[in-house]
Chain A
Amino acid sequence: MDGGNSSEPVLLRIEHLHKRFGTTAALVDASLTVRRGERVVLIGSSGSGKSTLLRCINHLEVPDQGSIWLDGEFMGGRFAADGRWIQASSGELARQRRHIGMVFQSFNLFAHLSALDNVALGPQWILKRPKALARAQARQLLAKVHLAGHEHKLPAQLSGGQQQRVAIARALAMGPKLMLFDEPTSALDPRLTREVLEVMLELAREQTTMLVVTHELGFARQVADTVGFLEEGRIVEVGTPEQIFDRPQHPSTQAFLNCFSPGGL
């Protein structure tokens, strides 16, 4: 896999992000950039703020402080001429989220819709594509995630791995600039995990810009251009997979990696 091309323009810039839940600090001064085509993997123990960071990017959680800048536009609002921050309306926020695909740990497929309808729903209703076109594209995407023949099954009739692949197709169908994966395999057994990771590997080969939160260190090493390690809401170390896995600098990173014996996929 080729390394991240530092000549590509920055797609996502996160600066000084803070988020508290009650008295717990979930994110502390988190900053990160993702370039177009770059694959960034965030690792760290549970509760370190990885998921919160991802959910802040598309404003499922509203950050307390800091800015998120996606492809030339602030997420969740804008600065007026006099420097005041103007919160985005829910409609503007919806428009911005269309550029960010999200894959959830618990799949979150629409329970009342078939696999095909799950994928076609967004293009048809949000992007206003003709129904026939939206469905044809949805078929292609389902085939791409190796689910041809499962189009008319309801989520409850699919395995976890199949559901997660439908969820990936659903996110891809919107033609997002950036794909967020929030622990996509944590709810799956090893065999189903493999199905999902294979699809994600294929996406990575196609230069999809991806920001992945995962505990699959083997996958991180194999796919990532950049790996970030989080602890207690802080991004304590960022580097290439070699830097992070082979020569971690920060004691916390070293301690975390000592608990794992990373193997290849």
Chain B
Amino acid sequence: MEDAPLLFAGLDVRFMVEIFPRMVQALLVTVQISALALLLGIVLGIPLGGLRVIGPRPLQLLIQGLVSYIRGTPQILHFLVVYFALPGVGILLDEYWTGVVALTVIAVGYEVEIVRAAIESVHKGQREAALAQGMTEPMAFWLILLPQATRRMLPALTNELINVIKASALLSVIAVNELTKVGNAIIYNTFYFVEVLLEVAVLYMLVIGALSWLSKYLENKVFSFGAALSTPETR
């Protein structure tokens, strides 16, 4: 009696409810790992973005090249590079942290550009005024440019979080227990194809839909005064 499937539109709803806690747990891993990568990306992106604008010319070119490489090659390749190269140079990480590092590489590629665009959108008179007062370039960057640029970065960073969450699905390849991986594992064990895929897709759409709403809200309501910065959508 208890095992009789509860069907709705041909879907076994009881099964979908049963796996829901595991799904939510996997979603939390997805969000956690993505947020971690985004934050590490910011930590690296701010100095790199700053150097991209005010650093010495060779360094600017180097950072530009790094950004072009990260954005101009498939994301899955960054996973492979991190997965094979880190042990190659003696750094041994578990799957989770391998995933974090790979996602951070992806995030940095976009965040450098977000930081650069935000800083360039601050009126150049601000920098000149700071330099005229006797500040050094790094001081002008930290004290004057960055604080003004930060608010303008928020919508773009929200979009970048969406991109990182989508990219995190690729971690299923290296056996991190994030949402896509857990969904696949359940499918292989139970053969409930449609139910699992539907549930996974809906969970992604809830999180990503909410984030893109937030990003639009930040862009329209809070930042309507300045030029909106955007980051390209990746898949």
A–B contact with Cβ pairs below 8 Å: the answer is no
